[in-house]
Each structure stands twice: as structure tokens, then as C-alpha cells.
Structure 1
Amino acid sequence: MDMNKIIKNILFGIAFFSLTGCFSNLDLHPIDSDIPSTFFKDSAACAKVLVGCYDALSVPGGGLFDGSMNSQFVIWNVTDEMYNAAAGTGPKVYSYTSGYAPNATMYKNLYAAIQRCCQFLHYLPDAKIATETKLVMEGEAQFIRAFCYFNLVQNYGRVPLITEASSDVNNTSAKQVEEADIYDFVIREMEEAESKVFPITKFNFGGRINKSAIRGVLARVCLFNAGFPCYNTERYKDAYKWAKMVIDDPTHSLIPNFAEAFIPLIQDKYDIRENLWEIEAYCKSTSDGLKEYFPSLSTTLGTNCSKAVTNVSFMVNNTMKITKRMFSYYEQDTEALLGSYDERRNWAIAPFTNAPTKLDGAERLVLTYFGSHKDPDNDRLVYDRQINKFNRQYAKIWPAYQSNAGTNLCIVRYSDVLLMAAEALCQIHNGPTPEAIGYVNAVRKRAYGQMDGRKFIDHIELTNPGENYTVGEVCVEIVDATDNTSSVTCTTEEDKSPKAYRVGDVKGPLTIATAKLPEILGSDGKPDTKTTRPIESIVLLDRGHAYSATPKVIIRSLEGGKGPKGSGATAIAVMKDENPSYELSAEATGSKEAFLQTIMDERARELCFEGWRRLDLKRWHNLVEILQATRDDGRNAKGVNGAQLDYIMTPGNNVSDVHYYLPIPSGEIMLNPELKQNEGW
């Protein structure tokens, strides 16, 4: 978490109340131990302690919201989205016990964060600071504490509810409280906090708790309370109420380009239109000397890259890969066979492997695309893909550390709020309503690149074939006229695995187009690859993202190639007159059941790899069913066998009803005789 930024924003908020004081020598490290009452001497000191509450959410390796492999966003979130392509035990294969150490760490650290908040709230009333300042700080601490309890009840069910400050985090006599009562506490605390904190517009900054963040999280809490196991269905009305407050706030809207909802997270920038609350990853700063490097989803859920090369590539090394079920949630382009009209697919799921190597005359990050256009029945070309949503290669932070990056963790996005509102409305009215359908279609409209009038390329028309081109050594560059970023494909149509690279921060999937050269046979009847020739056509393999203006097409010979350089070839991009429809079909909205299934699938498409899928499947009470169906997909897959098939199938083989809850850590039960283990553990 960016302590410097959080503290400065808290102090900025204090300044609104006309408080005076010198903060130039403020120690920017948070207080992270038991808090003496004497520390609450002024507003600056209180700010430090409050940041300690924020900091508790993302302790490196703490299993909470730091993006590490053991966090609930990675190994605890293996469902129909992804599988672990390596041997092992633990939650990634649903094989662990109540003694599993990362589970104990997560449980313990949630209570440690709660205790920090309890201590802060205990001592804050005696602080000699303005009443208005106290109110805002109190609301932030209340929300953090309630958010931790929300995570506890989601994962563990009945847990102790501790609201008083204690010198002992390991309370040995606290009794468990019923889930319904914990939800009531969480909602009550968050509602009170919402009335106290600043609106998000106060700072134009998503790292600090604000009214919009609390409203979005409250919608989620109410949906969970309405689902399994509490089934408090009256909460659907509350979920809609809180979601609608975010929707009606003119500050918030969908960012027109899906990729641009994530590029700011990767680059330590902010866009409060969509990203309502971010838990921050802090990287090296030359200004204050802090050196805190956080694991992030850019590394633990990224596309592997063998090494870091300054200004070329960042290193990524992990074993998570995507499932065919996740891939199949998206519409497949039936003409440009590497692509999808849904821009989310080839942004969230890498259609390539990448590595720094020399290509086209320079060291570049080369993307080698899976050749599914040549071998469409080979499911291995799907199961070999990795996650690309938090693409580290868009980062700007050097030096580059293997396991840590500065990608912030967004807890609630505006698109999530729209889908939550749609789900709540469907439940309230016992079926889809025009308003609910409109919210889902709004998310889909952005996904299909149509929020801001952009269009997809229909085909690329060769206007001059040129001459003297060599097989395998022709580059086709597609240049975005709005920002001069481009996609460069450097292999000809004969290649089964097209190689490409990006120039600049391309805002979406790359457009992949290869030159097709006429076949020439040698005297032996075999293809002659040495004789030069003109271009026959340009084959569009992936339309990439939609464009605001017709992109420029450049055809040239590969720099550093072995053959002669061709010249004279030209082509133009021909845009589609009409983009494909993004609107839901009549079948998708024909009944309550059909529409709820549509929302479940849309949440997978929109929110995949953001950490919520397992918990969504829990509240819908279909976790076991979905994991077993994902296993069966693997069993029926073509071209997948051996160890890889075992990795795909193992989660579905192991999952059972006991996994709707995590076990209370055995060490906690040994310390506290009042605790009762969850059923089956």
C-alpha cells in the first residue's frame, strides 16, 4: 500500500477543516503495533495510526489483499476460471486441512486488522482534534473493520465478533456468532461509515475509503446476505438501493475502453469513473526512501516472461493457466479465427506467449500467438493460455523485481455495480426488467467496443502487391491514428504461430494480420521459400480492439531478414459498416432462470481473475457443480493428456460440499475452546 499517498490524502482531508500544524517531518511509516493512548496527540499522529489500519489489509504475504500467490485472489480462487499447471496440494486443487498454514495466516491477519481498527476506535474519542476530522477517521476505521468481518463470514461462516480493543489478538474465549448476526453487524457498520466519510471527488483518488466505495461494497454484502447460506432475500432491495446510489452519481461511469480500466491500475494512476476503491501496491520511490515491494496480480496472475530487459520487458513467472470453460464464455470470431468481438477475451486471456528477443532489427517483447486458426480442434492451444488482465508489460516502474510490482488491487468497479444492480432487480421482481437488462447491455456495449462509436476492421484490402518479398519476412503494421500505437505482425500466413509486437501502450488486444504470398513450387515439387514474389493478400487473424478512426496499414520487409527486401506493397483497412450486436438475446432474458444464468456468465466474462468468482459461486450455491463441469470439459478435451490433464481435472475431482466454507484453523481451535469446527473439517 502506498503509505505516503494515503497519509498525504488523509492530511489533505484534515486541511479542509482548517487545522494547523507542521507535517513536513511526519514519519510516513504507519503505526502497526499496539497503540498507546498517548500517541493520539494531534491530527498528524492520528493519521499515522489510521494508515496502520489500511496497511493491515495488504501485509506482504499476509494472504489478504496483497496479490500474493497465497492470497484469496489467487490460490483460493481456482474455479472455472483457471487451474494450476503444476503438481501440488492446497486450495488450488481443493486438497488441504484445517492445519494448512496459509489458511491460518489469512484468518489471523483478518483479526489483526480488526484489532488495529478496534484500538483506533477506542482511543480516537480522546484525541484533541476537530470533531469533523474524528468523524471521517472513525468512518474509515469502522468500514475497514466491517470489511474484514465480511471476508471472515464469507469464507468461514460463524466466527467470533470482537468489537472492543484488546492487548491480545489471540482472544482465547470469544464465542462464535451466527452468520446472519455478523452480516447485520457488517451492514450496520458500513451504513454508519458511509454517512461519515468523504465523497470520492474530494481527492480524485481511489486509494482512500470513500462514499462510493462503501456503497459498492454494501451492494455486494447485501447480495451475499441474500444468497447461500442465509437467504435473507429482503437484502436484495438493499443491494439495489446501494448500487443505484453509485449508478446515479454522475462521477461514475464505464470507462469506454475495457483495457483502460486496468492500465491505470498497472501504472499507478487513477480513474475514479470506474475504479471506486483500490488497495494499493507500493513500489520503490526515490523521494522518501521507502522500499516496500508488494506481490501483485501482474505477477501471480500474469503471462510468463523469462527475463526483465530495461524498457523492453518485465519478468513474470507463475503456473496459473486458464480453462476451456472460461475461454468459451466469450464469443468466438468465426472469420478472424484468433479473435473475438468481445474485447475482454484477448485482453483478459493471453492469446500468446511472450519473451524478449531480437525481432525486426531490435530487442523487443515478442508475442508468439497460439496457432488455433491452423489447428482449431486442438484444445491444448486453449488450456496453455495464461492470464493477461493485469499485463505487467504495461508497467512503468524500474528496477523490475521478479515477484513484486506496483499494480493496485481494485476491490469494486462500476461495471460490477451495474451487474449487481441487475441481479438484485431480477430477484426483487422475480424476473428481468428493462432496467436490469439495460445494465447488463451497458456492460456488454463497452465489451464490444461500441460505447464511443468505435468500429472493428472488417478486412484489409491489398491495393498494390509490390514485389520481391520473401516468405516469412514480411511485416504488417496496423497503426492507431488516434495515438500512433501499433500492432506489428512479423510472420507470413504460412507460419502456424504468428509473431508480433506492440509499439506503445496499445489500448486493447492487438490486431494480427499476416501477408499471404503466392505459393511457388520448386523443380522437386516442394514449396520454394527462397524465390521472392509479390504479396497475394493480407489475412486478418485477429481484429484486435475496435478503432475510433480507420487505422493505417503499413507493409514492409522484416528488418534483419535473410532475404531481399521487397517494396511497393500497400493496403487499406476497411471498417465494418455495422458492428456485431452486443445486446442480450430474447432467450437470455426469457425467464428469471435464464436471466440469472446470463448474469452469472456475464460476471465471469467481466470480472474474471479479479478474485470474486469462488465467492460468487458460493452465494449461488453452485461451486461444486461448476467445478465438476470444468473437470468434465478437461476429460473431453482434444489434444490434452498426461500431467496437464491431471492438473485440469484434480480440482473438480477433489471439491465437495465441505468447500463452501474454509476450515477454522486448527491452531485457533486449540487456543480457544469456544470455537467449533465447520462441518466436514
Structure 2
Amino acid sequence: MKIKNSITISKRLTKFAILGALAVTSFSTTSCKKWLEEKPYSLYASETYYKNVDDATKAVLGVYEIMSNQKTYGFYMSMVFDIDSDLGYMEGTGFSNDNRTLAHYSFATSHNYITEAWRELYNGVNRANMVIARIPEMALMTSGTESEKAALKRCLAEAKFLRGLYYFDLIRLYGDVPFKTTFTKADDDMKAPRVDKEIIYDQIIKDMSEAIEDIPEVSEKKVDERVSKGAVKGILARVYLGRGGYSLRQNGKMERPDNYLDYYKEARRLTKEIIDSKQHKLSASYEDVFKNYAQLKLEPQESMFEVAFFNTSGENKNSGYVGTWNSPIVAQGATYGRANGFYRINPMIYYNYGNGDTRRDIAVATYEINASSQKVSLINTTKPFSGQTLANIRKWTPGKWRRDWQGTGFKDLNNTDINWVLLRYSDVLLMYAEAENEINGPGNNTEGDAYWYLNMVRRRGYNVDLTKASATADLATGLNKNQFFEKIVEERVLELCFEGFRKFDLIRWNRLGQNIRNTQTALTAVFSTFPYIAGGLFTDNKHELYPIPQKERDINTSLGQNPNY
């Protein structure tokens, strides 16, 4: 069956999201001045707004809309917050409040990006709290038809899931944060203290677990960006792995819970349920996964959860930098539109792929496009590093989002409508392999063990049968638990590089600082002047978290600060 092009779908979702946001406008918990000085028309309207399923749907799409923002997944959280890492670096040195200082770990606690992301995520929490409060009060929840009740339950479940997602983003970025499960009213105390993130984790897990029952499977829903049952389970599995991993605590130490295996068991359970459901599968072609993004096509069996972007005129609202900042460099004047490609890669990744692995030339772009719209090669494939010029290697970029795949029409030099993916099925398989290995070891490459599902991901990359053992693609058996874990660390790079997860993975494995320093050492050993500077700026037991924004601490004096800031 041909998948419907998602231009219309994304446009509809974003349009309704904006309507929902306007209908039930909510404010950051730090916006007390505006709440107190202005008559809260939006709050008054919300008391009477929820009359039918369409109202509730628009409201929950307003909760989704927080993600469709350059201060969240359109730029900050998709690209800037995930580097510098062992995968790449932001080109340039920058100024006090730009993306480069943040990426290079030379930022102040007052950095605008840190403040703006915090406020947008809390805006999302507040919108979700409003929906969660209002839908159960609707008369249709008891008097409506069965289809109306099911639709309202779905909206309520989505709001719970999204509240959990936004809190998960908050605690993995900032650690212990203020915690609120009711929407903000004019007489609320706006100086809430920070809450232990373990308490917040309990609520995240409760919200997402409760959401599962009332959210449809992917085969039961329209092809759009609203979350499916499998996607909720997959994101919840990521939550469990995050909770079971290392994190920077307020005592200034990187620690993991004593009962971390309990969380790994839950991650294994959820990912196995997704696998066994047969609702999702790997696309036949790794390349097609990313061409679909560039061409605005939804394929929800592999691409399980995407953030929707669309702006009719190409302006900033509900647009992202996906495909311009993290794509091959394209000169202004080319028919594809400009791409600055400020997100540059660690070139050693290119040489980590095995012979015949098709993922290499999709993940890594070793070319640029000139003003005449012609590709210009930046690599001498016969001579790794020796024979390569530093000027060319510095231009290597992520290749998964390309202007030349987007077609010749463009609305804006910087902004695109390309969705940002938050979960792919290959990630589900790799999460299962990681959890299973931690609990039972790697096995021996039979269906159900860790080897098997990691090798399924590799087989797709080598274009061989996913259901059969492959001498070409499969890892050699006989690895012990620790050796297999190192293969998981490597495979998550080969499969998921530049998709926004690497720093989070390295933090939960307690490897971020060391990997950054190792990367700098390796790069400068090849090219002494390679412009990778994060190794000398990253501070262990500090930069695993962002600071609590100084502007928030100025407003709310009960907020403490994270270690070493």
C-alpha cells in the first residue's frame, strides 16, 4: 500500500496544534508577572472550552506543538544539545550566547538556549496538565458514544505520555527540577523547589504506562505524527534504560541505582512486546528511511515517532533546521537551497563501518554541493586520512538529511519541514539487545537473544536476509557480556549516529567525558590543528547536566544549582 505523502498530514497536525495552543494557552511556571497583571482570558476560556472530541483533539495537539519548535526539537534539542560528542562538533568558536559556546562546553549559566528550552518544556508540561484535568470533566466521557469515549481516552492518554516525555527531557537535561502535575493558576506559588528526579521518574513511568492501553497500534490509526502504542512502549523503554543508567547526582558524583537491573528488565519486557506485536519492522533500505524524511513521507512501521514540522511560508514558527545545519554543505545559489552544515563529524566514524555496510555513505556525507548544484567530492577513498586534506575533512557532515534529497524547491534558506525522528524500530531492537545482554548475556545468535536482534540491524545495513544468520553481516559469536556490550556501544553509532541520542547514551554509560577527550586526542594525532576543542573544556561531574537557568534562579530563589556551576 502506498504511504500517503505527509505534507498534508504534517500541515494538518501543525495547524490543529496551533489552534489548540491558542484555545488553551498556558504559561511557564516562571511567568508569574504576566499571570498576575493581566486578566487570564485563556484560563477562563479553558473552563468552558472542552465541549466535544474536536475541542479535546485540538487541545492535545497543542501539547504536541511544543516539540515543533526550534527551541526544542527543531534545533536546540535535536542538534545543539547532542554535541560536541565523540560523533561530531559544532563548527566555529562562536559568541557568548550562541550554539557554538554551548556545544563546546564554554557557556554561562545564563545561556539563552538553556533558558528557552527549559521554559518551552515547562510550557508543554502545563499544557498537558490542562488537558489531563479537563478531559475527565467532559460530559462526553460518560454520556458520549463509544467512539467518542475512545477518542477522548486517547487524547487523555496522549497528554499523559507527552507530560512524561517533557519531564524526561527536563530531568535528563537539568537533573532535579520543579515538579507539578496540575496546571498553573493565578494564585499558585511560583517558587516551587527542585524535586528528586527519582520521584519524577515514578510519575513519568506512571503516566506512560497508563497511556499504553488507550493509544492505538500503528495499524489501527491514521498515518500521522500522533503517537502509537508501540511508540509509547519504545519511549518508555528508553526511560527505563535512562533510569537504570548513570546520572550526575546532587552530591557531585555519577551514580546508578543499586536496583538498576530492575529497570533493564522493564526495558527488555517492553521492547520484546513491540517485537512480538509484529506492528513494526525494519524498512528494506536504510537509505529509504532518510529519503522519506527529506521528501516528507511518513513510514510509521520503522519510523515509529516523529516530531511534525510544517510552515506554509517557511518562517520560523513550526519549522526546524533539520537538513540545513546537519546536512552536506550546499552553496547559496544552488537549486536545492543553502545548507551551512555547521554540524561537522568526527571523520573516524567513516572508517568504522565494515566493507559492504551501506549505512556508511548514508550516515556520512563526504561531498558538498556548489552554487551550480554540482556535487564536489571531499574524499580520496584510496587513502584513509593520509592523502586527505584537513580542509576537505573538516567539511564532512552528517548525510542522513540532505538538501539534494529534498528536491529543487525550497521556501527558506535555513528552515525546512523535515520531521525529526524520536524513535526508530532499529533502536527498539538495539535497546532489547542491550537489556537482554545485561540480564542474561549475549546468547549464541538464536532468535530471542541479544546477538540475534543486534545482528538483524546489521543485516539490513549489509542488504542481506534479516531472518537468517549471515557470515557477512553478523558479529562473530563467543563474545562475553562485556565484549558484547562494547559491540552495542559501537552499533548504536553505526546505526543511530547524529539522531540526537549519543550524548544521552554516553552519559548513562558514564563515558561522555572520557570519550570526548579520547576523540580530541585521536583527531589531533592525525591532524594537529583539527578544530575539535571540547576535550579541553569538558568538565567531569559538571557537564553531564546543564545548569539550572540563571534567569529562573533569579525569579525563583528556592532553586539550587547543579554541581560545579
Q: Which residue of 2 aligns with 1:29?
A: 19
Instruction: State the Cα distance separating 1:300 from its structure 2 match.
Output: 1.5
The Cα offsets for residues 639-663 of structure 1, whole Å up to 9 and x where unpaired, read as x52xxx2x21x11111111111111
Q: Distance in 2 between matches of 1:354 and 1:238?
A: 46
Q: Distance in 1 between matches of 2:177 and 2:109?
A: 15
Q: Which of residues 339, 349, 352 is equivalent to 1:316?
A: 339
| More strand as a share of residues | 1
Asked if residue 623 in structure 1 is aligned to residue 508 in structure 2, the reply is no
Assess, with a 3 A threshold, how the Cα gap between structure 1 residues 432 and 619 changes in structure 2: closer, same or farther. Answer: farther
Q: Distance in 1 between matches of 2:186 and 2:483?
A: 50
Q: Which residue of 2 aligns with 1:351?
A: 366
Assess, with a 3 A threshold, how the Cα gap between structure 1 residues 217 and 45 changes in structure 2: closer, same or farther. Answer: same
Asked if residue 662 in structure 1 is aligned to residue 551 in structure 2, the reply is no
Q: Percent identity?
A: 25
Asked if residue 330 in structure 1 is aligned to residue 219 in structure 2, the reply is no
Assess, with a 3 A threshold, how the Cα gap between structure 1 residues 28 and 82 changes in structure 2: closer, same or farther. Answer: closer
Q: Which residue of 1 aligns with 2:36?
A: none
Spell out the pairing of 1:159-558 with structure 2 (5 A cutoff). Answer: 159-167=177-185, 172-229=190-247, 230-231=256-257, 232-284=260-312, 292=317, 294-310=319-335, 313-331=336-354, 333=355, 341-357=356-372, 364-373=373-382, 376-378=385-387, 380=390, 381-396=392-407, 398-432=409-443, 434=445, 435-451=449-465
Q: Which residue of 1 aligns with 2:92?
A: 86
Instruction: State the Cα distance separating 1:76 from its structure 2 match.
Output: 3.8
Assess, with a 3 A threshold, how the Cα gap between structure 1 residues 452 and 617 changes in structure 2: closer, same or farther. Answer: closer
Given that 1:296 and 1:408 are in contact with CA atoms closer than 8 Å, whether structure 2 keeps it comes out as no
Instruction: State the Cα distance separating 1:7 from its structure 2 match.
Output: 9.1
Given that 1:7 and 1:47 are in contact with CA atoms closer than 8 Å, whether structure 2 keeps it comes out as no
Instruction: State the Cα distance separating 1:438 from its structure 2 match.
Output: 0.5
Given that 1:293 and 1:405 are in contact with CA atoms closer than 8 Å, whether structure 2 keeps it comes out as no
| More helix as a share of residues | 2
Q: Distance in 1 between matches of 2:408 and 2:157?
A: 33
Assess, with a 3 A threshold, how the Cα gap between structure 1 residues 206 and 621 changes in structure 2: closer, same or farther. Answer: farther
Q: Greater Rg, structure 1 or structure 2?
A: 1
Assess, with a 3 A threshold, how the Cα gap between structure 1 residues 450 and 433 changes in structure 2: closer, same or farther. Answer: closer
Instruction: State the Cα distance separating 1:168 from its structure 2 match.
Output: 5.8
- Code of the residue aligned with 1:595 in structure 2: it is F
Q: Distance in 1 between matches of 2:546 and 2:455?
A: 35
The Cα offsets for residues 59-113 of structure 1, whole Å up to 9 and x where unpaired, read as 2x32x111x2x33433543201111221225221111121111001111111011
Given that 1:50 and 1:137 are in contact with CA atoms closer than 8 Å, whether structure 2 keeps it comes out as yes
Instruction: State the Cα distance separating 1:387 from its structure 2 match.
Output: 1.4
* Secondary structure class of the residue paired with 2:398: coil
Instruction: State the Cα distance separating 1:607 from its structure 2 match.
Output: 0.5
Q: Distance in 2 between matches of 1:603 and 1:169?
A: 47
Assess, with a 3 A threshold, how the Cα gap between structure 1 residues 597 and 365 changes in structure 2: closer, same or farther. Answer: same
- Code of the residue aligned with 2:459 in structure 1: it is K
Q: Distance in 2 between matches of 1:132 and 1:84?
A: 46
* Secondary structure class of the residue paired with 1:343: coil
Q: Which residue of 2 aligns with 1:635?
A: 524
Assess, with a 3 A threshold, how the Cα gap between structure 1 residues 211 and 8 changes in structure 2: closer, same or farther. Answer: same
Instruction: State the Cα distance separating 1:206 from its structure 2 match.
Output: 4.7
Instruction: State the Cα distance separating 1:594 from its structure 2 match.
Output: 0.8
Given that 1:302 and 1:387 are in contact with CA atoms closer than 8 Å, whether structure 2 keeps it comes out as yes
TM-score, with length taken from structure 2: 0.84
Instruction: State the Cα distance separating 1:450 from its structure 2 match.
Output: 1.6
Given that 2:110 and 2:549 are in contact with CA atoms closer than 8 Å, whether structure 1 keeps it comes out as yes
* Secondary structure class of the residue paired with 2:369: strand
Instruction: State the Cα distance separating 1:625 from its structure 2 match.
Output: 0.7
* Secondary structure class of the residue paired with 1:582: coil
Asked if residue 680 in structure 1 is aligned to residue 564 in structure 2, the reply is yes
RMSD over equivalenced CA pairs, Å: 2.8
- Code of the residue aligned with 2:375 in structure 1: it is V
Stretches of structure 2 that go unaligned for 5 or more consecutive residues are 1-5, 27-42, 95-99, 248-255
Q: Distance in 1 between matches of 2:316 and 2:512?
A: 40
Q: Which residue of 2 aligns with 1:584?
A: 475
Asked if residue 127 in structure 1 is aligned to residue 138 in structure 2, the reply is yes
What is the number of equivalent residue pairs in this alignment?
A: 511
Asked if residue 65 in structure 1 is aligned to residue 73 in structure 2, the reply is yes
Spell out the pairing of 1:603-618 with structure 2 (5 A cutoff). Answer: 603-618=492-507
Instruction: State the Cα distance separating 1:677 from its structure 2 match.
Output: 0.7
* Secondary structure class of the residue paired with 1:185: helix
Q: Distance in 2 between matches of 1:399 and 1:228?
A: 43
TM-score, with length taken from structure 1: 0.70
Q: Which of residues 484, 487, 503 is equivalent to 1:598?
A: 487
Instruction: State the Cα distance separating 1:432 from its structure 2 match.
Output: 4.5
Q: Which residue of 1 aligns with 2:253?
A: none
Assess, with a 3 A threshold, how the Cα gap between structure 1 residues 115 and 417 changes in structure 2: closer, same or farther. Answer: same
Q: Distance in 2 between matches of 1:431 and 1:327?
A: 26
Stretches of structure 1 that go unaligned for 5 or more consecutive residues are 11-24, 334-340, 358-363, 454-578
Instruction: State the Cα distance separating 1:401 from its structure 2 match.
Output: 1.3
Given that 1:281 and 1:296 are in contact with CA atoms closer than 8 Å, whether structure 2 keeps it comes out as no
The Cα offsets for residues 494-539 of structure 1, whole Å up to 9 and x where unpaired, read as xxxxxxxxxxxxxxxxxxxxxxxxxxxxxxxxxxxxxxxxxxxxxx
Given that 1:74 and 1:301 are in contact with CA atoms closer than 8 Å, whether structure 2 keeps it comes out as no
- Code of the residue aligned with 1:322 in structure 2: it is I
* Secondary structure class of the residue paired with 1:300: coil
Assess, with a 3 A threshold, how the Cα gap between structure 1 residues 666 and 261 changes in structure 2: closer, same or farther. Answer: same
Q: Distance in 2 between matches of 1:26 and 1:85?
A: 37
Structure 1 segments of 4 or more deviating over 4 A? 6-10, 25-28, 168-171, 289-293, 430-433
Assess, with a 3 A threshold, how the Cα gap between structure 1 residues 433 and 225 changes in structure 2: closer, same or farther. Answer: farther
Assess, with a 3 A threshold, how the Cα gap between structure 1 residues 189 and 102 changes in structure 2: closer, same or farther. Answer: same
Instruction: State the Cα distance separating 1:175 from its structure 2 match.
Output: 2.2
Instruction: State the Cα distance separating 1:376 from its structure 2 match.
Output: 4.7
